[in-house]
């Protein structure tokens, strides 16, 4: 078991490094125009995916209405007040409050 | 007598990245405590989780290995899952590459600072990225990630504590706020965001969430459609 853990840690370390350095090592110094347009869409695509994946979990088994309400509160606070910290703390407060209730 | 920090050592963009990265660092700390505690209770011992956080610095990959080993799926499955989950770093590295400094080797080393939140914070529109902001944001998050793992391994707090305090809301709330900033700056990408939500929402039915997120890279190909391109800021 212990040996397997260490092999696994070494394996994912190699994987993480390779995935991160692949672009700068193999990619061009300047992206072609179509790639530039794709990159502009990458951030919103990735962020949306991360929010949905965090909310859903595997087969939507992790979906928690309290967490969903908290995230919605963050969106509302960001829309009305702007900023980062207040909406995020608002999400934590709403989620925790609903779980306690 | 006050202590004057050598702020001139770092560029304004680096300091801005570090400032924006602070709340993300707190999230990293809490998530890492969960990782450390779960790994310890899963028989990883003390050293392996800490070494993993030091050399891997990828929560999604570390949790993927943890889940694979805990579920008896084996090391190869765990490493394979981590590779799939981390595949999103390839396009992120490609986009960041031209903005990093030095030759290929130095740019490769600097690219190790790429994590989701730092990459998004460094995004300045179109294909433009701010290298110093990326490094500043990660410079805060990395030590917090390692520190959190140490705390989690040594104290092994119950997962119930984190759920009661709703710390699991931190990351998705951050990502939503950053998404709203992206959509305000580049309204044409809202269709990409909507499609991404639908695709990932459907894929988690058959794939682990971390793997489903990789599909976002393909959704971003919508950017190839010229009419979905926002005008570049001057």
Kindly determine whether residue B65 and residue A8, on different chains, have CB atoms separated by under 8 Å.
yes
Partner residue opposite A11 with nearest CB, options B79, B119, B199: B79
pLDDT band at B96 (very low <50, low <70, confident <90, very high): very high
Average pLDDT over residues B3-9: 59
> Which chain A residues are Cβ-neighbours of B230 within 8 angstroms?
40
Whole-angstrom distance, CA of residue B39 vs CA of residue B177: 30
Helix H or strand E segment including B147: helix B131-155
pLDDT band at B6 (very low <50, low <70, confident <90, very high): low
Taking 60 as the threshold, does the pLDDT of residue B233 lie above it?
A: no
Partner residue opposite A67 with nearest CB, options B88, B169, B192: B169
What is residue B234's predicted lDDT score, i.e. its pLDDT? 41
Partner residue opposite A27 with nearest CB, options B97, B189, B216: B97
Whole-angstrom distance, CA of residue B129 vs CA of residue B229: 17
What is residue B125's predicted lDDT score, i.e. its pLDDT? 81
What is residue A72's predicted lDDT score, i.e. its pLDDT? 97
Q: What is the DSSP letter of B220?
A: G
What is residue A96's predicted lDDT score, i.e. its pLDDT? 94
Taking 70 as the threshold, does the pLDDT of residue B81 lie above it?
A: yes
Q: Contact, B98 vs B81, CB < 8 A?
A: no
Q: Is B200 on the interface with A (CB under 8 A)?
A: yes
Report residues of chain A scoring pLDDT below 70.
Answer: 1
Q: What is the DSSP letter of B123?
A: B
Q: How many CB atoms lie under 10 A from the CB of residue B188?
A: 18
Q: What is the DSSP letter of B43?
A: T
What is residue B48's predicted lDDT score, i.e. its pLDDT? 96
Chain A interface test: which of B27, B70, B105, B176 (most A C-beta within 10 Å): B176
What is residue B208's predicted lDDT score, i.e. its pLDDT? 85
* Percentage, residues of chain B above pLDDT 90: 41
Chain A interface test: which of B60, B169, B200 (most A C-beta within 10 Å): B169
Q: Is A35 on the interface with B (CB under 8 A)?
A: yes
Could you tell me the sign of the dihedral formed by the alpha carbons of A76, A82, A88, A89, in that order?
negative
For B25-76, the pLDDT digits (tens) are 988 898 899 899 989 988 999 999 999 999 999 988 898 888 888 877 788 8
Average pLDDT over residues B218-223: 88
Distance from CA of A36 to the nearest CA of B (A): 5
What is residue B227's predicted lDDT score, i.e. its pLDDT? 63
Whole-angstrom distance, CA of residue B91 vs CA of residue B87: 8
Supply the mean pLDDT for chain B. Answer: 87
Whole-angstrom distance, CA of residue A15 vs CA of residue B200: 23
Average pLDDT over residues B197-201: 95
Kindly determine whether residue B204 and residue A45, on different chains, have CB atoms separated by under 8 Å.
no
Helix H or strand E segment including A78: helix A65-81
What is residue A1's predicted lDDT score, i.e. its pLDDT? 63
Is the ipTM higher than 0.90? The answer is no
For B111-170, the pLDDT digits (tens) are 999 998 899 899 988 889 999 999 999 999 999 999 999 999 999 877 777 788 888 888
Query: Distance from CA of residue B72 to its chain's centroid?
Result: 26
Residues 66-85 of A with CB under 8 A from B: 66-67, 70-71, 74-75, 78-79, 84-85
- Closest Cα partner for B145 from B20, B56, B29? B29
A25-50 per-residue burial string, b: 16 or more CB within 10 A, e: under 16: eebeeebeeebbbbbbbbbbbbbbbb
Taking 90 as the threshold, does the pLDDT of residue B8 lie above it?
A: no
Kindly determine whether residue A88 and residue B108, on different chains, have CB atoms separated by under 8 Å.
no
Whole-angstrom distance, CA of residue B175 vs CA of residue B123: 14
């Amino acid at each position: 078991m212990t040996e397997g853990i260490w092999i696994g840690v070494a394996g994912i370390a190699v994987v993480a490094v390779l995935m991160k350095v692949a672009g700068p090592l193999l990619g061009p110094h300047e992206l072609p125009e179509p790639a530039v347009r794709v990159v502009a869409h990458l951030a919103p695509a990735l962020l949306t995916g991360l929010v949905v994946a965090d909310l859903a979990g595997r087969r939507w088994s992790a979906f928690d209405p309290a967490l969903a309400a908290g995230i919605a509160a963050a969106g509302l606070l960001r829309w009305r007040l702007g900023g980062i910290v207040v909406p995020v703390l608002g999400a934590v407060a709403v989620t925790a409050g609903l779980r306690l209730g | 007598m006050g202590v004057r920090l050598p702020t001139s050592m770092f560029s304004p963009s680096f300091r801005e990245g570090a400032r924006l990265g602070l709340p993300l660092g707190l999230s990293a700390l809490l998530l890492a405590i969960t990782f450390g505690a779960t790994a310890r209770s899963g028989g990883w011992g003390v050293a392996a989780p800490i070494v993993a956080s030091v050399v891997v610095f990828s929560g999604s990959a570390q949790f993927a290995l943890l889940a694979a080993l805990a579920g008896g799926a084996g090391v190869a499955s765990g490493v394979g899952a981590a590779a799939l989950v981390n595949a999103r770093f390839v396009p992120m590295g490609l986009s960041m590459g031209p903005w990093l400094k030095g030759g290929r080797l130095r740019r490769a080393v600097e690219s190790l600072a790429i994590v989701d939140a730092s990459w998004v914070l460094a995004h300045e529109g179109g294909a433009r990225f701010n290298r110093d902001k990326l490094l500043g944001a990660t410079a805060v998050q990395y030590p917090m990630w390692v520190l959190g793992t140490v705390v989690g391994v040594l104290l092994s707090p119950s997962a119930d504590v984190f759920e009661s305090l709703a710390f699991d809301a931190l990351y998705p709330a951050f990502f939503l706020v950053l998404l709203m900033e992206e959509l305000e700056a580049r309204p044409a990408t809202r269709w990409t965001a909507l499609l991404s939500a639908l695709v990932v929402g459907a894929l988690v039915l058959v794939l682990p969430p971390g793997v489903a997120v990789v599909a976002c890279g393909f959704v971003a190909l919508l950017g190839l459609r010229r009419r979905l391109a926002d005008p570049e800021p001057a």
